[in-house]
Chains A and B, each alone.
Chain A
Amino acid sequence: MTCGLLERGTIELYWYGELSQGERDEARRHLDRCLECRQALHDIEIIAAALAERPEVASPPGGDWSRFMAELSAAVAAEPRPKRTPPAESVTRAGRHRLVPYLASAALLALVTMSVFTLVRGRSATPPDGFRADVVMDVSFEARPPSLPDPALVSLSDQHFQRSKLVLLGLTTRDTAAPAAEDWEYERDLAATLLQDTRLYRRAVEEHGMTGLADVLRDLEMVLLQTSMSEGPDRESLEGIQRLIRRRDLLTRMSVVHAGGF
C-alpha cells in the first residue's frame, strides 16, 4: 500500500521546496519514520541529479542563428503586413460587440468553416519533402476562394459552439462543494474533444482577421484546456475554471457572438 503523503505528491513538493514551513516540518518528521517516502525522496534526488547533467541547449548547433533568422525573415516577409490596430488592452467590450454584425455574415461563417476543413485537408495530406505542413495549409487558404455557404458545414460549426456552451454551463453550475466524479469525467472528455476543433476554428478566424471572435475562441480554448487537463473532481480545479469563465465573461460573449450568426 502506498503512503498517503507520497500518493498526494507531498514528498515531491517537499523536495521542490514548495511546502509551507509547517508542512515542511511535518513532512520531515514523517520522513524520519516512513521508509517508503524516504526511498521515494532518494529516487527523486537521483532523477534530479541525472537531469542536472541534461544539456542546456539554447541555440542551434555552434550557436549559429543565421539560418534560423534567415528562414524566419522569409516566413515573416510572406505574411500579410501587420495591421496598425490599437493594442488589445484598448479594445473594449463595446468594441467587440461592434464586430458582431461583421461576424453575422453567413458568407464569412461558411468561409471560416470551410477554411477549417481546408486546413484539415491540408494537414491530412502528406506534404512533399522540404515543405512544412503549415506552409502547405497557408497556400491552400489562398488557392480556395469562398463559395456559397454549405448548410451542413454551417450546422457543424453551430453544433460545436452549442456543445461548447453546454460544457461551460455545466462547469459554471457545478457545485464546487461536491463535484460528481462521473459528470466531471464526462465534461473533461468532452472538453478534450472540443479543444481540438476550437483551436482549428480559432486559427481560421485569425487568418481572416476576425479578432473579436478569435478572442472568444481563445478564451474558450483556455477553459477547455484547463478542464481537459484536470485529473479529478476536486474543488480547487473547478473553482479555478469557474473563476476563469466569470472573469472573461465567456458565456455572455459566446451568447452575443452566437446570436450574431453562429
Chain B
Amino acid sequence: MSDSDLIPRAAGGDPAAFQALVERHRPMVYRVAYQFAGNHHDAEDIAQDVFLKVFRSLDRFRYDAQLTSWLYRIVMNACIDHRRRQKSGGWVPGEEAEGTLLNMPEESPGPEARAYGGEIGQALEAEIGRLPAGQRVIFIMRHHQGLKLTEIAEALGLAEGTVKRQLHAAVHRLRHALTRANVLASANGAAGGGA
C-alpha cells in the first residue's frame, strides 16, 4: 500500500496505517537523527519527536508534496529543537538568534561513531558536532543521504543558493578546523603531498 493510501487512513485514526507509515520511514528518520546527534539516546528522542509530530499533523499533510520531503523538514526541526533543549535545559524566546543557538558539540559519540576513521574520523566527528544546526543538516543530507542540492533545497523549503552557501560554509569550516588541528596536513603528507 502506498503512502498516499496510508496517510488518509492514519489521519482518520487507523493505528495499523500509522504503524505501517512509521515502519516504512523509521530507518530514514533514525539515520538522519543519528547522523545529526551521533548517539542512540538522542537519535531515539529525535525520532520519537518526529513521529509524534507526524501523528499530530497528518490531517494537514499537503498531498502535492512528497512525504519524504515533508518528513525531512520535520526531522530538521526536531533536530534543531532537540539541540535547543539540550543546550539550555530551558529556553526563553528571543534569547538568541537561531544560527548562534545551536553551536554546541555533542556530549559523546556513540560506540559506532567512536569506532570509525582513526585520527581524521575522530577529528571530523568532533567538528561536525560543532557545526551550526542548519549547516549540519544540509551537510548530512548531502554526504550521508547523497541528495542533490536541488533535492535538499526542495526538502527544506530553502533557495538553492542558500543550500549552496550553507554547504560551502560547512565544508570551509571543516577544512579549516582540520587544517588547524594538523589532521589534513598529516593526511596530505601521508598521501604524498597532495595535488
What total of chain A residues lie within 8 Å of the partner, measured CB to CB? 79
Q: Which of A39, A68, A228 contacts B48 (CB 8 A)?
A: A68
Asked if residues B52 and A41 are in contact (CB atoms below 8 Å), the reply is: no
Contacts of B61 in A (CB 8 A): 87-88
Asked if residues A132 and B45 are in contact (CB atoms below 8 Å), the reply is: yes
Asked if residues B162 and A69 are in contact (CB atoms below 8 Å), the reply is: no
| A79-B94 contact, Cβ under 8 Å, with A72-B22, A226-B159, A234-B161 | no
Residue of B nearest to A117 (CB): B93
Residue of A nearest to B59 (CB): A85
| A42-B171 contact, Cβ under 8 Å, with A55-B115, A58-B27, A68-B44 | no
Q: Which of A46, A88, A132 contacts B187 (CB 8 A)?
A: A46
Give the dominant DSSP class at B's interface: helix
Contacts of A181 in B (CB 8 A): none
Give CA–CA (A85, B120) in the complex, Å: 52
Asked if residues A72 and B51 are in contact (CB atoms below 8 Å), the reply is: yes
B interface list, Cβ under 8 A from A: 7-8, 11-13, 15, 18-19, 22-23, 26-28, 30-31, 34-35, 40, 43-45, 47-49, 51-52, 55-64, 85, 88-95, 97-99, 110, 112-113, 115-117, 120-121, 124-125, 134, 142-144, 148-149, 157-162, 164-169, 171-172, 174-175, 178-179, 184, 187-188, 191, 194-195
Q: Could you pull out 9 A-B pairs where Cβ atoms are within 8 angstroms? A: A57-B40, A57-B110, A57-B112, A59-B30, A72-B22, A123-B85, A196-B98, A226-B158, A237-B159
